Structure formats: structure tokens, C-alpha cells
Amino acid sequence: MEWALVITAGMFVFFFTLFILYLITTKKRILIGRLRNISAQEEEKKQFDERDETLKQPLVQRIVRLFLSHLGTTFSKLTPGAYIERTRKRLQGAGNPEGLTPQEFLAFKLVISVALILMGIIINNWNNTHLLKMMFWIIILAILGWKFPDLYLYHCLKERKKEIQSRLPDILDLLTVSVEAGLGFDAAISKVVEKSKGILAKEFSRVLQEIQMGKPRREALRSLSNRTQVEDVSAFVGAVIQADQLGVSIGNVLRLQSEAIRQKRKQRAEETAMKAPVKMLIPLVVFIFPTLFIVLLGPAMIQIFVTFMK
């Protein structure tokens, strides 16, 4: 009788435990299913938003972008990975003009080169140019077509760096004032994003978004340095990360960095002013001096010439 009671109690406990585990796993499955449904809805909404953004673009731009994407995917298989990575960094430093990927940018360079080569062939055939001369011009046009997008990218990179260097001291001043007023570093960045405009403000906004998404502050700041590729920003990021690691007052670090960057900006302005006379020398010699010589010495030379002729 006692063994029957023990077995009955054991079976009761066993089935009761199975029932509890079933309820727990059922709730967990329901929760996982709901999370998956929410993720699927968000992904579907994101796809619809991307499709709407794509449909807002002109038809020609969509066709060209699709063509460049397919051509870039094919062409990138024949391109060294180091060159693609270098192109990606240059595009990132230039602010990703037109949102081009490295593969699309390489495809764009290839299309420009081929277009110039075809134009050169057509013009040379129209003029009945010699074969060697035609080959020479085709090579020149191919090189120009391949290098022209790089020149445009270099121009974008240069202008972007110039704007970042000019805006950085003011943004650091606002950041320093916010931190010294009692705000945390993340809140100070939020204040900078709220009160400032331009490329650097957008980059700080991206840093704040990455921090809010759970990315460590150091990694977010290092990403800022990699995206901007500006020496002053790299120095500022390094100082902030070091202050965070050593526990130094970040307000003093920001003030020192602001003063140092302002001093660098002053030195760059003085350097530019010192280069101005050298740059002015070329137009002065080529254009202004000959004109002055003609105006001042012209009548005297004419008079001397007339005198000798008599």
C-alpha cells in the first residue's frame, strides 16, 4: 500500500512538472512567435520604405543605378580586394557621394573609360587618322576616363575635410560648454547635434545613434575618426578615449583640444597667407608685367623705331 502511494505521488509530481514545463515553453513559444512577427513586420515595412524611396527617384537614375550595380558585381570579381577596400575608404572619406558602393563606383569608372574610348574611335575614324595615332589617343582617353572619377572623389574629399576642419573648433567649444555645465558626454553630443548644422553635426548624430543602439562609445568614436579621415578629429577622438580610460576630467580634455585645434586653424591660415605671394607671382609675370611693358615702353619703342628709319 505504501509503495502504491509513493508511486502515485511520484507520477503526480512527474506529470505536474511536465505540465508546468509545457506551460512555460508554450508561453516562450508564443513570445518568440510574436517577436518574429514583429521583426517580420518591421522588415516588411523597411522594404516598403526602401521601395518607396527608390520609386521617388527618376526612372533614368534607377535604371543607371541598377546597371551599375550588376556591372559592378561582375567587375569586382576581377578586381583585387585591396583595391576595393581602398576605394571603400576613399568613398567613406568623401561622404559616399550619391550613395555609391565601391563596386558601383568601379563600374562607373569603367563605363566612363569605355564611353571615351568609343568616342575617340568614332572621331578618329571620321578624320581617317593613322592607326598608331588613333591607338595613342585611345590609351590617353582610357586613362582620363579611369582617372576622372578619382579626381571628382578627391575634390569631394578635400571639400569635406575643409568644412570639417573649419567647423570642428566651434563644435568643440559647444561640447566643452555643455560638459562643464553638468551634462554627460552623450547628452553634450545630443546638444551639439541639436544646435549645429553641417557635415560634422551629421557625423556626431550618427555617433549618438550608434551609442543608443548599444555600440560602445569608444568604438563609435573610432568609427567617427575612420569616416571623417581628418587629423584633428582623430586627435580629438584619441584624447577623449584616453581620458575615458584613465578617468581624467573630460571637460579639461575638451577645453585643451579646442584650444589646440584653434591654434592649428590659425597656423593653417597663416600658412595660406604666406603662400599667397608665391601663387600671385605666376599671373603677375605671365599676364600683368607684359601688359605694363607694352603700355609703358610701347610708345618709346615706336618713337625709337621711327627715328632709326629716318
pLDDT in tens, 64-86: 666 666 666 776 677 777 878 88
Q: Are residues 164 and 200 in contact, defined by beta-carbon separation less than 8 angstroms?
A: yes
Domain final position from 159, 177, 198: 159
Conformational region of residue 183, where left means phi above 0, alpha means psi within -120 to 50, and beta covers everything else: beta
pLDDT score at 61: 57
Percent of the chain with pLDDT strictly greater than 90: 0
CA–CA dist 191, 58 (Å, integer): 37
CA–CA dist 298, 51 (Å, integer): 71
Q: Are residues 254 and 172 in contact, defined by beta-carbon separation less than 8 angstroms?
A: yes
203 pLDDT more than 80: yes
pLDDT score at 40: 62
pLDDT score at 285: 78
Same domain, 263 and 168: yes
pLDDT score at 102: 81
Residue 247 falls inside a structural domain: yes
Check residue 128 and report its DSSP letter.
Answer: T
Same domain, 147 and 223: no
Domain final position from 125, 143, 159: 159
- 211-270, pLDDT tens digit by residue? 888 888 888 888 888 888 888 888 888 888 888 888 777 888 888 888 888 888 888 888
Note down the domain range covering 73: 62-159
pLDDT score at 22: 57
52 pLDDT more than 60: no
Residue 87 falls inside a structural domain: yes
- 272-286, pLDDT tens digit by residue? 888 888 888 887 777
What's the mean pLDDT when you consider all of the chain?
A: 76
Same domain, 177 and 212: yes
Same domain, 93 and 184: no
125 pLDDT more than 60: yes
pLDDT score at 106: 83
Q: Are residues 250 and 185 in contact, defined by beta-carbon separation less than 8 angstroms?
A: yes
The pLDDT confidence band at residue 59, using thresholds 50, 70 and 90, is: very low
Same domain, 188 and 148: no
Grid look-up 543607371 returns 64
**Cβ neighbours around 185 below 10 Å, total:** 19
CATH code of the domain containing 188: 1.20.81
| Overall number of domains in the chain | 2
